[in-house]
Amino acid sequence: MKNILLTGVCLFLSIFQLVADDSTYRLLVGTYTNTKVSEGIYSYAIDVEKGVFRPIQVAKELVNPSFLALTTDKKHVYAISESGTESKAGAFAFDVESGSFRFLNSSLTGGKGPCHVAVTDKHVVTANYSGGNLSVFRRNTDGSLSDLIRLLQHTGSSIHPKRQTKPYAHQVVFTPDQKFLLSCDLGTDLIMVYKYDRKSEHQPLVVFDSVQVKAGSGPRHLTISKNGKYVYLLQEIDGTISAMTMKKGKLKIIQETSVVIKSGIETGAADIHLSPDGKFLYASNRGTANDITCFTVEKNGRLSFVQQVSTGGVGPRNFAITPDGNYLFVGNQRTDNIVVFKRDVKTGKLTDTGKSFTVGAPVCLLFY
């Protein structure tokens, strides 16, 4: 009997130790499946110090589930599915303890080439790149998606002869207080501001304002400070970063800097995030640069350059900082790898840990 109890205790301790070792961080990864090197949305348990990157599950129900959004209660994951006229938004129930998915449903976006998704307790919104529009869905009580309830079309163009002949909606982000939604449009050099009414049945988003940025710059992604006072916009075409103040939905540019500090490179600026403490800003650049740049965020919201380092791969489409701020993970889409950097929380500087793991065409990294 003692042997049985001892064996049971040892087994429990072994399982506990495995979970403790492997669960330092939990990560979701959205990918492109049309590359034939990926199967869908992946969940991982990661122990950086031991170099353990353990895949938990892959959700295979959607084609090209590139960008993801996780609800604040972490019970649901929403993904876009880039597939031409058959493009969709998909809903999954998510078990945060086990890291497992359960597919609920999908709904057509009505706009081609969805490339970003945002969620509140009531709605899901996608930015549709090729369509130049936003799709709005209600969240049903079980977390599944309604059919499309609104398609908000952007209009206009800008000066780039090939990339700005029409609108290209590239991102949707709700403000921290969820009173507004901001949308980057690469084709028109505009940031669209929508007033958000979560109680509205058919028209939760209404155009409130817009901000014109530098012609030909190509707004791609932005990030908002936790207090909602500052917005930082990264422009894909020329690598400009615009620092802005935000007050009651109104944006004002206070500074322009850039991720381009080397001459003779091809620019393809991609992703931008603030550190968890809001003291540093990071932005990635693809093209021939394949680097990530760090800036200090000053008390007045302006940026000062700190460092620029190689991402250890090609096509840093997306990156994410661990919730404790200790590490930064970069997803290099073209080289099918995720590279881990140690982050100095005092200086903001990054150091390559020499640790990485293979994921086919990683596009979106999301810690949970």
Interval 148-177: pLDDT, tens = 999 999 999 999 999 999 999 999 999 999
The residues with which 358 forms a beta bridge, in sequence order, are 337
Confidence of residue 112 (pLDDT cuts 50, 70, 90): very high
pLDDT digits (tens, 9 = 90+) for 243-271: 999 999 999 999 999 999 999 999 999 99
Q: Name the residue among 137, 23, 150, 36 with its Cα closest to residue 79.
A: 137
**Distance separating alpha carbons of residues 243 and 213, to the nearest angstrom:** 11
Which pTM value belongs to this model?
A: 0.94
The residues with which 174 forms a beta bridge, in sequence order, are 181
Residue with tokens 């615009």: 242
Whether residue 72 has pLDDT greater than 50: yes
pLDDT at 66: 98
Whole-number percent of the chain with pLDDT over 90: 93
Confidence of residue 9 (pLDDT cuts 50, 70, 90): very low
Task: Reduce the DSSP state of residue 17 to 3 states and report it.
Answer: helix
- Contact present, 150 and 136 (Cβ < 8 Å): yes
Direct distance between the N- and C-terminal alpha carbons of the chain, in angstroms, rounded to an integer: 41
Confidence of residue 5 (pLDDT cuts 50, 70, 90): very low
Mean per-residue pLDDT of the chain: 94
Whether residue 358 has pLDDT greater than 50: yes
Q: Name the residue among 134, 129, 83 with its Cα closest to residue 106.
A: 83
Q: Name the residue among 109, 120, 86, 91 with its Cα closest to residue 169.
A: 109
Query: Strands 291-297, 68-70: parallel, antiparallel or unpaired by DSSP?
Result: unpaired
Whether residue 2 has pLDDT greater than 50: no
